[in-house]
Amino acid sequence: MGIPSLLVGIVALIAALWLGATNAEIYNHLLHSYLTAYCFFLAITIGSILFILIEYATRSAWSVTVRRLAEGISQNIFLLIILFIPILINDHKMLGWLEPGIVQNDTALTLKSGYLNPTFLYLRLAAYFLLFAFTARYYHARSTQQDITGDPRITTHLEHLSFPLIILTALALTGFAFDWIKSLNPHWFSTIFGVYFFAGAMLAAISAITLLALILQIRSSRCSVLSTAINQNHYHDLAKWIFAYTIFWAYIAFSQYLLIWYANIPEETQFYIPRQIDIWASVSLLLLAVHFVIPFLGLLARRAKRKSTVIAFWAIWSLLACALDIFYLVMPNAWSRDISRTVNPANPHAPLTDSLPILLDRHNVHALRPEFNAFYHQIRFPFEPLNLLITALCFIGIGGLFICFTLYSLKGKPLVPTQDPRLKESLAYENA
């Protein structure tokens, strides 16, 4: 399964690059599609790291038998550091504020220049990756070391270390989301965005861990131990995590939207207005349905959280919902930067707060003024068949490498922490 995934991933990324190199407009779409897919798999990886830290911090016994799978997923941070290189090379094409003179000639951005400057951006990025890589590697190495030595002090040490690392990792995840998603529109203000991205990352990670456990139990001969180590009671708890973070994501999403809608401040509403124009209004409603309403109803009953086939369905569903969420966060920035160029050619870098009132119909916020109808092409551009294919290829490409690297990280090691002092308690765990 690992080698085929690797080959599929490589072929898909090459195909995406080949299709995306057609012209500048499609290449811009390719960059944002790649960033979307990258952030999705990074969210799974960092969410898995946070899952490990939380389970150690709470001295959780039930999760011992699934923790090694989370450790395997967390090792993808080394792959993702390499896969970030294309984003780093093309960062100025997505982060408009990196262009020379943009920050200095914009009053609002000048006030943020202490944070929005290239030197500090790259230093932060290095710090994020160092922290993620250290945490993932250290916890996996010490956990597998305990399989050999059986030293219970390793568990105690990792428990104590988990408290500061939870805080640092959560802050680093927030910083990454601010730097590489939120700053795609540097004029936008939101103090809750980091928590929003955290909620989605945890949901995606737990869904991925659940799905990995189910697949390994079915497909791998090495997983005979998992057939008894992870049972209906463990899956019940994993499903409750999925259910809980589905609700938490909805709570944070609603809180952000409500506060911005109520205050009606242009610097805040500029995020939602482009996502309510034309086809993007349907995407917004679809996101609400697939990310909250439908899975909430589907996972509400206890019996739904105790059937492996049902849990597998909702794990896949939640992963697709998280992918749509990041698509919703990233992709509108591929065309919203063109608004100012269209409505105000004399000031092509004007903030959306100045350009949106000119673009939109005065009587219908979901439509454009007749003289700007040609701009519907940019708005609908991500949904053209070729561009949807490029986006799908980016997900398949990074996903194939992600699966291969996950399986490689788990290869040759026990899939259950055999010497963890809480393993017996985890094996005997019953979900009331």
Amino acid found at 282: S
Residue type, 316: I
Output the pLDDT for position 2: 75
| Chain centre distance of CA 19 | 25
What pTM value is reported for the model?
0.96
Dist CA 36 CA 397 (whole Å):
12
The rounded distance, in Å, linking the Cα atoms of 301 and 306 is: 9
Q: Along the 432 residues of the chain, how does pLDDT read in single tens digits? A: 678 899 999 999 999 999 998 889 999 999 999 999 999 999 999 999 999 999 999 999 999 999 999 999 999 999 999 999 999 999 999 998 998 888 888 888 898 989 999 999 999 999 999 999 999 999 999 999 999 999 999 999 999 999 999 999 999 999 999 999 999 999 999 989 999 999 999 999 999 999 999 998 887 655 567 778 888 999 999 999 999 999 999 999 999 999 999 999 989 999 999 999 999 999 999 999 999 999 999 999 999 999 999 999 999 999 999 999 999 999 999 998 888 888 888 787 888 888 888 888 888 888 899 999 999 999 999 999 999 999 999 999 999 999 999 999 998 888 899 899 999 999 888 876
- pLDDT value at residue 224: 64
Residue 34's Cβ-side half-sphere holds a number of Cα atoms within 13 Å equal to 27
Q: What is the pLDDT of residue 67?
A: 95
- Record the tokens describing residue 347, joined without a space: 């000031």
Name the nearest CA neighbour of 43 among 177, 215, 212, 184: 177
Helices 308-330 and 24-57 cross at an angle (nearest 10°) of 130
pLDDT of residue 432: 67
* pLDDT of amino acid 431: 76
Give the per-residue pLDDT at 365: 83
pLDDT for residue 22? 86
> What pLDDT, on a 0 to 100 scale, did the predictor assign at position 99?
87
